[in-house]
Amino acid sequence: MKIVILDGYTVTQNDLNWNALEDIAEVEVYERTSPEEVVTRCKGAEMVLTNKVVLDAATLNMLPRLMYIGVLATGYNVVDLEAATRQSIVVTNIPAYSTNSVAQMVFSHILNIVSRVGHYAEENRKGKWSNSADFCYLDHNLFELAGKKIGIIGLGNTGKATAQIALGFGMNVLAYTSKDAEDLPEGIRKVTMDELMEMSDIISLHCPLNDDTRHIINAENLSKMKHSAIVINTGRGPLVNDNDVAEALNNDVIAAYGADVVTTEPVSADNPLLTAKNCFLTPHIAWATHEARQRLINICVDNVKAFIDGEAINQVNKEV
């Protein structure tokens, strides 16, 4: 079988490789693929792997030989699942490969905001500490995490991993989740959405993106938060209304925002979050530790092998 990888660079970043796939099939790797190049590159292939390249119904209709799509991510919204199912194309994803990496990024943002390590390091390069009249100086209000409340929206793999780290810091963990209260891990308290918005010192987003969660962080919910609240988004960009958050930051409705994702990526040059007060953005890299990317490749290889053997795993369209 022939496998085409449409956007392999984001996964390998030149420090990993696809050798394990090449041992089991003919593999053609493209670092990046534009929408106009998809059909040409995929023709003749039985299997296609994609991270962010969209495979919509019109595209799939022009690929009658295609039998398998492997999404190189947990979310699979880049594939028209209904169209794939109609064409009997098996679609798989890569679940839970970056759980620890994402939870780590949540606290990288939190610690950056509450301890301002990056800020002080930069100020000291400019000579501020050298010219201080005292042995130390403070130009930001620092505070401890112990005893603070963190509200977690969505208690899947990354939500639970984030909660465990928070408990280690001595935080009180609140969760908005569909899980029953008695089924939650020890130390996690189930609350309503309004309670979470009103009580939390820090809010972290870990829910899937759907019609109910799109723009869950909006002007109305921001107005319910403490003025000292911090919001963290390592989930999906559209969970947040970028304009509403930027306005809330600039008007001191909330204290800070840390995010690894935005609504449109790469971030638009005119996105108001880029210039908002106390807004800290990283370029969608929470998933991208070396370990997580290697784990992704390993699971991808397992998925491909299982499909070739006729026993697909991690299949998201069970109807095929």
Catalytic member of 109, 236, 293, 295: 236
DSSP, res 319: T
In which element (H, E) is residue 242 found?
helix 242-250
Distance from C-alpha of 205 to C-alpha of 200, rounded to nearest angstrom: 12
Distance from C-alpha of 153 to C-alpha of 184, rounded to nearest angstrom: 13
Give the phi and the psi of residue 190 in degrees, each rounded to 5. Answer: -80, 135
Question: How many helical (H) and strand (E) elements, i.e. helices and strands, does the chain have?
Answer: 12, 12
Whether 236 is a known active-site residue: answer: yes
Whether 65 is a known active-site residue: answer: no
Catalytic member of 46, 109, 206, 284: 284
Distance from C-alpha of 195 to C-alpha of 175, rounded to nearest angstrom: 10
Task: Give the CA count within 13 Å in the CB-facing half-sphere of 148.
Answer: 21
Beta bridge partners of 212: none
Distance from C-alpha of 208 to C-alpha of 228, rounded to nearest angstrom: 26
DSSP secondary structure string, 98-113?
SHHHHHHHHHHHHHHH
CA 22 to chain centre: 29
Distance from C-alpha of 204 to C-alpha of 318, rounded to nearest angstrom: 31
Sheet with 90-92: strands ordered across: 26-29, 2-5, 47-50, 68-71, 90-92
Catalytic member of 265, 290, 291, 319: 265
The residues that are catalytic are 236, 265, 284
